Structure 1
Amino acid sequence: MATDSVAAVSTGKRTPGFQQAKLFRIYNHYRVVISLMLVALLFVDPVNFDIHFRLLDYYQLGVMGYLALNTFIAFTMLAGFQPGQRHITLSILLDILILHGLLFVSTGITNGLANLVIVSVAAGNILTPSRMGTFYAALAAICSLSISGWAALTLGGPGDDIVRAGSLGILYFAAAFILQNISRRMMSSEALASSRAQSIVELEHINQQIIQRMRTGILVLDRYGHIRLANAAAEELLFGIPTDTGMPATRSRALPQPLKSGLDAWLKNPEKRTEPFQPAPTSPLLQVNFTPLDQERGDQILVFIEDMSKVTQQAQQMKLASLGRLTAGIAHEIRNPLGAISHAAQLMEESPHLDSGDAQMLGIIRRHSRRVNGIIENVLSLSRRKPANADLVDVGSWLTEFRTDFLQTQENAIPATVMTLNTVSAIPEARFDKSQIEQVMVNLCDNGLRYSHQHTGERKIELCAGATADGERAYVDVRDFGPGVAPGSSQLVFEPFYTTDKGGTGLGLYLARELCEANQAHLSLVDDDQTGCCFRITFAHPGRMI
């Protein structure tokens, strides 16, 4: 019984069987109390009440048996027994028959026990508001008329007893019809309320799912910065730990200091806009907006967290896509004269009368012709990029295979290419398009080898693979041993056309980040105070579909 009660409450609605069992439990408590009162009256001298029992011994046995029956049922329900419809029907029938049996062996229909039959019939119609309720009333009326008729015929009882029995029969049927009508209406109202409650629960569940799956982070805070609620996007943006359940793991966390400072500033001046910030060096740039959740009390604050890098990338993507379409239109007109210039420079290099100064100028012409052609190819690739075809990948095995393939392409490089690989034992799987992420890795490795060679004279890089702090997402690091990035330029390196290499196009890292975003991964520059640059690709949770 206790288990069923908990189950009914946890589902948000009470089943008809649960309600019926609860009502029967209450009715059985009533029967136990009545039985105890009848037993207690056995110890009172009947002469004092001018009562003449027909069969006193049988009456006493009947009362004791009635108490024993009701007590047994009470203990079985306390032990967890769940009464069914058959048990309830049998109990009501026994009540009617036992009470009429007590009327028969006591003083007849004039005994006050007849009023208890009305209660039993009423309880039966409440517990089973159907044709069975009418049967209870009919059985009680027949028993009452039978007792009165037998007393009038065999014992010479007054005819008024038959009239009284008929009146009781009318009361039985009246109680049955009235309570059946009331019970049906109550059941209909309860079914409607239960249906609406279930709809509310379903809507609440849908709203929770929508909030949890939103890409915009949502936080509910109090005035002191304590987290009351957070969706998965907020947890991933602020703490780098996405979860499915939301609040429990986050409530104990402290707000990042930039967000806490922004909250304090907003509380002092709600009109002031909070500046974008980064919770961690590898986190994207975030913009937050605060609004009071309760306009009257103002105790809780709703926070919307937007990934500014996505907004910036979308704007840049639209700009560069337009540039790509423009370039596609004029690429033919540009490549024709560019090809002519490059071809003419090549022919001039074959001239036997070429001095060193002219040869140097021709080298500049050919180098910059290749650079212009590379810019055209990169811009065109923005408008021709294919959607990601993601697969579930074992990152450790994939990175080992990539290293082997990449070193094969560097066999003729001078000096020799050195690429070390460090992995941990337990790396989560990741879901991405191998060809696109390999394109990113080739770009990062080429850049790293070039800058390492310029700075140290060695073509050396280091690959690392591991898991994030939550142990649920994989990452890959590409570290070079070059001069590193100047302070304040860590975000500029991902801007289109930004480059520190005289021969670079400034689109390599931008395209790399775009490809990572297409695979729900994040490319960032890790600031770890070590030599060179470390670019990290943090993959999304493998359960997230692209």
Structure 2
Amino acid sequence: MSARILMAVVILGMHLTVHIWGRPLPQWVLVACVAYLVLTILVRTVAHPQGPGRPFDAQWLYTVGADLLFFVALQSLQSVGVNYTPLLALPVLMSAIMGTRALALGTAALVTLALLGQVVWSADLDRWGSTTDMAQAGLTGGGLLILALLTNQLAMRLAREEGSARRNRIEAQVQSLVNGMVIDAMDDGVLVVDTDYLVRTANPAARLMLGSDREVTPDQFVLDDNPAWVQLVHIARETFEDEPIDGIEITLHHEDRHSSRLQVRTQRTPTVGDSGRCLCVMFLQDLREMEAQLRTEKLAAMGRMSAAVAHEIRNPLAAISQANALLEEDLSAPGQLRLTAMVRQNADRLGHIVDDVLDIVRAQGQSEPFADHALDLDAAVAGFCAEWAAQHGAGSRLQVHLGLPEGDVAVQFAPEHLRRILVNLLDNAARYATRREAAIQVSTQAIRHGPVLLMVWSDGAPLEPSVRRHLFEPFFSSESRSSGLGLFICRELCERHGANMGYERTERIQRGSPVAGNEFFVSFRRAPGAYTTTFMDPAV
């Protein structure tokens, strides 16, 4: 359509030039040229021509028909003495592109008849015209027929290829959307890294494991930008230089959050094109979540068995306690009273163990998390710490640092469960910490667009590796008089609320100098709408 406008402008300009500088032309010629220009502009701006391969319709009249009529008229009258025959190829091409093969051949045949008729019209009545003019008109018509056939075939093939490309593009977009949804919903992290260590794709799980924030870190980033990711750079280099890695455990040490323990396996894509470049696909798995899942599966059967054993123990234990109390009333000898006291103490200990086991079963038996509690973490921690300090006479030995924005951060957690977890952690800290000032420190921190942390730190001696490996397992304790269920129950309660619990050896400021100590932390899930953009002071 744009070519028609350009052709109309050229024809009008040529006739105006001849009319002004050469010999005057009939007025109808200029009027016809102007009318043709106006028609082409209207068709280009207003009309909506249909695609190729359609049968005859009205668009043929104001496109092919108008061109054919105008060019035949110019050729027949020869007003300027110019041969307009090449222009007749334009309506033939247009009909071949816009219509069916029959319409294209029909238009070419109509043009051929017009050329032959023009030769007959221009010849004398007494003779049929020269053989050369007739042969030229016939060859031109034959060429136009071949041109219409080939152009129509090319147009139809192009239309099929365009339709196929459009369908393939739609399918590729749908497949890309599906792949994106699947990858984004995966619990495992996925990173796509090129040879320059540019991360082309990272799903939300991978960003969470890397500790990257979308508001700070762009969609594509370089692994060299963060010192915590240096191990991933080495893994990518080994994948490109040698072979894919089946599985390796690494630890990412972050500056503003707890370290991440990951299992990494890689795959290398085939070389793309002649550039020799390929991609490294990293699959990241959070070892803490894997361990929690394995632990849950292993403890499921043990929980059912423990519940049954606890119920069986409770009845005879109650009988023993009652009989011991009756016996103690009739005794007066100090030695015998000491024996009954030992029976009473051990019976109470067994009773606490039974209660702990039943608490585990109750916590595991909950099918839904406790999502109805929106808890002001700072207020709750301040109250529980004050109660514990008053009961144990902690004084300056306990320091509490609460730095969450007032009224801006709430977590999903039951108050009584938080009390039990905090009291258990403070009891453990008091058991192993020194008597110095700030030997026990409780603090809260909000990760930007992330979880809310509660940390209980004490300056006790580091835990032995064997103790750390089994720290949260049931019935494991470094003390003979402990049931070994305290930390396990705390972790179970955290998981029921969608929170996580862990341990790290960290440093805190004590009397103006950094001191290494044991830190237990709880990562809470925020309540709906409780998101903040503030950062905590790194010194806290």
TM over 0.5: yes
CA distance, structure 2, for counterparts of residue 353 and residue 103 of structure 1:
140
* Pair 1:32–1:493, CA change in 2 (3 A): farther
- RMSD of aligned residue pairs (Cα, Å): 5.4
Superposed counterparts of 1:171-186, under 5 Å: 183-184=155-156, 186=158
CA deviation map 1:96-121 (0-9, x unaligned): 3432332343169x974244223223
Letter in 1 for 2:288: S
Determine the structure 1 residue equivalent to 2:368.
387
Superposed counterparts of 1:241-280, under 5 Å: 241=213, 247-249=219-221, 253-254=225-226, 256-262=229-235, 270=243, 275-280=248-253
Superposed counterparts of 1:192-203, under 5 Å: 192-203=164-175
Aligned 8 A contact 1:465 1:476 in 2: yes
The reply to whether residue 425 of structure 1 matches residue 405 of structure 2 is yes
Q: 1:289 aligns with which of 257, 265, 279?
A: 265
What is the percentage of aligned positions where both structures have the same residue? 19
Q: Which runs of 5+ in 1 are unaligned?
A: 1-23, 47-54
Determine the structure 1 residue equivalent to 2:163.
191
Q: 2:91 aligns with which of 120, 141, 153?
A: 120
CA deviation map 1:317-356 (0-9, x unaligned): 2221111122234333322322223333333443441526
Deviation for aligned residue 1:512: 3.3
Superposed counterparts of 1:314-463, under 5 Å: 314-353=293-332, 355=334, 357-381=338-362, 383-388=364-369, 390=371, 398-399=376-377, 402-403=380-381, 413=391, 415=393, 422-425=402-405, 432=412, 434-435=413-414, 438=415, 440-451=417-428, 454=431, 455=433, 456=435
Aligned 8 A contact 2:11 2:33 in 1: no
Q: 1:61 aligns with which of 30, 52, 58?
A: 30
Aligned 8 A contact 2:378 2:402 in 1: no
CA distance, structure 1, for counterparts of residue 527 and residue 356 of structure 2:
34
- Which region of structure 1 is more displaced relative to structure 2, 360-369 or 264-273? 264-273
Secondary structure at 2:491 match in 1: helix
CA deviation map 1:502-522 (0-9, x unaligned): 554323333433444455543
* Pair 1:442–1:513, CA change in 2 (3 A): same
The reply to whether residue 529 of structure 1 matches residue 507 of structure 2 is yes
Determine the structure 2 residue equivalent to 1:476.
453
CA deviation map 1:221-247 (0-9, x unaligned): 356755343322222112254799984
TM-score scaled by length of structure 1: 0.69
* Pair 1:485–1:90, CA change in 2 (3 A): farther
CA distance, structure 2, for counterparts of residue 144 and residue 269 of structure 1:
74
Secondary structure at 1:477 match in 2: strand
Aligned 8 A contact 1:219 1:231 in 2: yes
TM-score scaled by length of structure 2: 0.69
* Pair 1:416–1:251, CA change in 2 (3 A): closer
Letter in 2 for 1:210: V
CA distance, structure 2, for counterparts of residue 426 and residue 66 of structure 1:
77
Secondary structure at 1:277 match in 2: strand
**How many equivalent residue pairs?**
497
Q: Which runs of 5+ in 2 are unaligned?
A: 50-57, 511-516, 530-540
CA distance, structure 2, for counterparts of residue 274 and residue 541 of structure 1:
33
Deviation for aligned residue 1:207: 1.5
